[in-house]
Amino acid sequence: MDQILFKHNRPDRVISFDEYCAESGFRALRKALTGMSPEEVQQATIDSGMRGRGGAGFPTGKKWSFVPRDLPGPRYLICNCDEMEPGTYKDRVLLEKNPYLLIEGMALAGYALGVEHAFIFIRRGYELAAENLRRGIVEAERAGFLGRDILNSGFSLSLEVHQSAGRYICGEETALMNALEGRRANPRAKPPFPAVKGLWGQPTVVNNVETLANIPAIIDKGPAWWKSQAATPDAAGTKLFCISGHVSITDCFELPLGMTLGEIIDGPCGGMRNGSNFKACIPGGASTPYFTKEHWNVPMDFDPVAKAGSRLGTGGIVVFDHNTCMVAVTLNLVRFFARESCGWCTPCREGLPLVQHILERIEAGYGEPPDIDILHEHVRHLNHAFCALAPGAMGPVDGLLRHFKDELSEHISGKCCPFRRDTTHTC
């Protein structure tokens, strides 16, 4: 496999504009604007099999094809760099090393979609990434890769960096659009979907940083080459996996999509830390149900992970060793989601704090057997909330109930956390 997204990375600094250009940077944009129609760029993206890297894995070219070509008024492209999912830091790493891949990818996507004005919605706190992007946009404008009549093609595109006010819900694409419009960041009802009625009521495509940063390689080297960089024939391309937790090496790695969980942990991560044993992991960011040792050989690709009962999500893998209390892990995650609920609808606003309260009780040794039924009920009900935050919040709870029911019951029957002997009650 060739590196696609990290190919230009310098170990200790961001790549410069001149270095990027010298290493075939903006070649794909030149190729598209001088020899391909917008429809051909879109078709190449469809043919590549690219699925969105922001969490849901929706096919990128297909999403672009939903944008109506005949509606009057502007269309918009938004790059989603909110990245507040715990365990996920790949977009930050990418932009701190190389902002130009995203800028070129957005120019290509803008050309395919007929967009003249695009936004990069970036998490507050990602100061270095935002600074790199602002500088990169000015450099690309000066060199004629952005702005009016790019490379004399008649295509014009301006890019604007917008720093988010900093809430997890701002990453949900419709809440993000409300935030960009200056409104409270509540999700909108779907349909209508953003591709038809999005920012200021106009057709809008929202894509993740990693998704858009892959487009130059798809155009430059062709969709078949890009697809073949995966580990299995069913997968397409590479994936940024950001790893944290109890492994020897924690980092963000670009790996072939479809490597198994075990290959990732024993390979680039150097195995478990200090010879400890693998107990479980969050496979794709905090909103995904746990994997256990039984999932060691599951290919880390969208469909196999879904078939095994979880989601590839963002590729943020958090690994836990045998000394970890999964009730405590779940409580920690639920606390985050309860705090980040936007409060718009009752089941999520009231339900998540209740789930948090129940887990706190169980962890402290005050749990009762009916608590487990209440947790099950909330997993069922919150799956039908207004937006995907609530079902995502219940992902770890669902995983806890499916894979660690004995551990949960042990907390309740023993009246304490078996991993911490200092709780109120003694085991």
Ligand X SMILES: Cc1cc2nc3c(=O)[nH]c(=O)nc-3n(C[C@H](O)[C@H](O)[C@H](O)COP(=O)(O)O)c2cc1C
- Please enumerate in sequence order all residues whose Cβ is within 8 A of that of 367, keeping only pairs 6 or more positions apart, or say none: 358, 361, 408, 411, 412
The string of DSSP codes covering 16-27 is PHHHHHHTTTTH
Minimum distance of ligand X from residue 409's CB (angstroms): 31
Instruction: Indicate the DSSP class of residue 55.
Output: S
Q: What is the dihedral of CA 67, 68, 69, 72, to 10 degrees?
A: -120
Total residues interacting with ligand SF4, rule: CB under 6 A: 14
> Largest Cα–Cα distance in the chain?
76
- Please enumerate in sequence order all residues whose Cβ is within 8 A of that of 91, keeping only pairs 6 or more positions apart, or say none: 81, 83, 129, 208, 209, 210
* CA gap 88, 85 in Å, rounded: 6
Among 42, 45, 211, 341, which residue sits at the site for ligand X (rule: CB under 6 A)?
Answer: 211
Minimum distance of ligand X from residue 287's CB (angstroms): 8
339 scored as a contact of ligand SF4 (CB under 6 A): no
336 scored as a contact of ligand SF4 (CB under 6 A): no
Instruction: Indicate the DSSP class of residue 180.
Output: H
Site for ligand X in 64-123 (CB under 6 A): 80, 82-85
Strand ranges inside 12-167, DSSP E = 76-81, 117-122, 158-163
Task: Select 188 or 411, whichever has its Cβ closest to ligand SF4.
Answer: 188
Q: What angle do CA 253, 255, 256 make, to 5 degrees?
A: 170
Work out what residue 207 binds among ligand X, ligand SF4, none; the CB cut-off runs from 5 to 8 Å by kind: ligand X
388 scored as a contact of ligand X (CB under 6 A): yes
390 scored as a contact of ligand SF4 (CB under 6 A): yes
Work out what residue 220 binds among ligand X, ligand SF4, none; the CB cut-off runs from 5 to 8 Å by kind: none
389 scored as a contact of ligand SF4 (CB under 6 A): yes
315 scored as a contact of ligand X (CB under 6 A): no
Site for ligand X in 131-170 (CB under 6 A): 168-169
Contact in structure between 385 and 345 (CB atoms under 8 Å): yes
Work out what residue 386 binds among ligand SF4, ligand X, none; the CB cut-off runs from 5 to 8 Å by kind: ligand SF4
- Cα 130 to Cα 125, 135, 158, 172, 209, distances in angstroms: 9, 9, 16, 20, 13
235 scored as a contact of ligand SF4 (CB under 6 A): no
- Closest residue to ligand SF4, Cβ-based? 348
345 scored as a contact of ligand SF4 (CB under 6 A): yes
Helix (H, G, I), strand (E, B) or coil at 418: coil
| Residues in contact with ligand SF4, shown as a per-residue x/- string from 254 to 293 under the rule CB under 6 A | ----------------------------------------
Binding residues (CB under 6 A) for ligand X: these are 52-56, 58, 63, 80, 82-85, 168-169, 171-173, 206-208, 211, 387-389
Binding residues (CB under 6 A) for ligand SF4: these are 169, 187, 341-345, 348-349, 385-387, 389-390
